[in-house]
Chains A and B, each alone.
Chain A
């Protein structure tokens, strides 16, 4: 024992420290419980300092700007120069304020429009793990935030609240490798599981190779995960290719495209239907209205080939032509009336000559 405590004291303490932490880890993993006290202390200490620093930074910028103005009073030359500097700074400041006001306005409009009850929050910190996508926001359990709540912007889904502390909350972004959520595609209603990869794009897993999905098709939250209300935009599919068993689908999250400063936390979610059209861009990019229809093209009847996408469409078109060739009008005959003779081929609608048997059209 003496040998252990003196000669191998350093190693003994090292082993004890590592073992203690391994036991702590094992307890958390097995019981799926956290050590809230340590987290509350650390997060509160760090986020409070970070909030103070951000406020101090803004105040320092204002003081520096005023200082430049005071210097300008002393000497004319310096005044003009500093005035220019001050104006430049002010210009930058106002531009930043304008951008912030526009974002805040967009957020407010979205907040008023969406049926879900939401709470606006500001990003105040990033996570310490390399390649992890975790941020801290400035609202916490005192404002009603709870773990598991969805975090969104007008552009789309951002992530979910992992932990709520008294004055701040930790948010896992949807690009984090630990993130997963249910999604559904807009046009073909293909369901899958959105997963983060630690990079800009996310994957959508569990989509069969046989499912129909196109590049550019939007994904929305399906609501199946009980975290995100159904109908929130997630982003368009940018890569769709066949895999061994399942499709490989990559999605560009629309909620993270313009950076993150302000977000909304969904306190009470309301499911919505998947919209029929692509979500309108919230950005300030101005788009012209669509051009007027071409009068020349408007008079042209739409060719039947335009709608013949499937074998069923082509078969239906063939039967229609056979019926017309025999003078039969679908949907008008009484029950028991003789149907057209489908064994007789009708003439194609192209200018090609009639190649079928010569048969007068049957009386209706």
Chain B
């Protein structure tokens, strides 16, 4: 079994140093994440705390390492998530656009194969995403949304812990890690 770094090196050897995800998988994986977020919490309420669409965007950005592709991917996933929410379309879109962009920018500075780094980056970007969404809700929608720092930190740790094995699964699924 090859290490993630070998796969990454293989990816960098490819033309333009990019990974080539199949188009179907690019659509199917975030769709599955959205279905998970909508359907699974009905059976297990606590799984509603997982922000799988964000983790998919982060995985894409950290492995793809292209800022434009990552921000566009984040925007597409975020806008789809917005369409399922009861808020105006664009809230999740902006949050995930920025998360995708900065995650791709961070991926060239950190060893993203390291599980600890993956955990920390996922933790940080979850917190960043939630804070940004809260700020947009208050600033643009003028809704009395509350931001619980303790809850955000705990859920950031939870999502970071889930991100580590999830990235391995996505690497197997998409042939790239």
Query: Chain A: residues with CB nearer than 8 A to chain B?
Result: 9-10, 13-14, 17-18, 21-22, 24-26, 28-29, 34-35, 38-39, 41-43, 45-47, 49-50, 53-54, 123-130, 132, 134, 136, 162-163, 170, 172, 176-178, 198
Contact = CB atoms under 8 A, between A and B. Distances in A.
Given A22-B94, A46-B35, A177-B144, A126 B88 contact: no
B98 to A, nearest CB: 7
Given A18-B94, A50-B39, A177-B144, A39 B89 contact: yes
Contact of B85 (A13, A29, A47, A127): A127
Given A17-B72, A18-B97, A130-B48, A29 B141 contact: yes
B169 interface: no
- Chain B interface size, as a band, is 35 or more
Contact of B67 (A10, A127, A134): A10
Interface in B20-70: 31, 34-35, 37-39, 41-42, 48-49, 51, 53, 67-68
Nearest to A23: B90
B1 interface: no
Contacts of B67: 10, 13-14
B109 interface: no
B87 interface: yes
A50 B41 contact: no
Interface string B124-152: 00000010000000001101111000000
Given A24-B90, A25-B90, A172-B86, 17 more contacts: A13-B71, A13-B72, A14-B98, A17-B71, A24-B93, A26-B140, A29-B140, A34-B88, A39-B84, A46-B34, A46-B84, A126-B39, A128-B53, A128-B84, A130-B48, A134-B85, A134-B86
Interface of B: 31, 34-35, 37-39, 41-42, 48-49, 51, 53, 67-68, 71-72, 75, 79-94, 97-98, 101, 130, 140-141, 143-146, 155
Contacts of B72: 13, 17
B38 A128 contact: yes
A160 to B, nearest CB: 11
